[in-house]
Amino acid sequence: MERRKFIKNTVIGSVAFAASGGVSSSLKAENRSKANQAKFKMKFAPTLEMFKAHAGDDPIDNIKFIADQGFTAIYDLGLINRTPQMQEKIMAEVRKAGLEFGHFSLKTPWSGPTFVLNNNEVKQMIKERMQAGIELQKRTGVNDALFVPGRIEPKLSWDAQTANLIENLRLCCELADKSGLRLIMEPVSDGGVFVTKTSQAKMICMAVNNPNFKFANDIYHMQITEGNIIANIDNCWDYIGTFHTGDNPGRNEPTTGELNYKNILKHIHNKGYTSIIGLEHGKSKPGKEGELALIKAYREVDPS
CA angle 137, 142, 147 (to 5 degrees): 85
Task: Locate all alpha helices (DSSP H) within the chain, ordered by sequence.
Answer: 3-19, 25-36, 52-55, 59-68, 84-96, 120-140, 158-177, 198-208, 219-225, 229-235, 261-270, 287-301
CA–CA–CA angle 127, 131, 133 (5° rounding): 120
Per-residue pLDDT of the chain (304 residues; tens, 9 = 90+): 443 343 334 333 433 333 333 333 333 444 444 455 589 999 999 999 999 999 999 999 999 999 999 999 999 999 999 999 999 999 999 999 999 999 999 999 999 999 999 999 999 999 999 999 999 999 999 999 999 999 999 999 999 999 999 999 999 999 999 999 999 999 999 999 999 999 999 999 999 999 999 999 999 999 999 999 999 999 999 999 999 999 999 999 999 999 999 999 999 999 999 999 999 999 999 999 999 999 999 999 999 8
Query: Alpha-carbon distance 46 to 40, whole Å?
Result: 12
CA dist 105 and 275 (Å) reads 17
Question: Which amino acid is it at 171?
Answer: L
Residue 203: CB atoms within 10 Å: 16
Domain ranges of the chain: 1-37, 39-301
- Which superfamily does CATH assign the domain made up of 39-301 to? Divalent-metal-dependent TIM barrel enzymes (3.20.20.150)
DSSP state of 92: H
CA dihedral 90, 95, 99, 100 (to 10 degrees): 90
- The secondary structure of residue 20, as a DSSP letter, is T
Contact 213, 180 (CB under 8 A): no
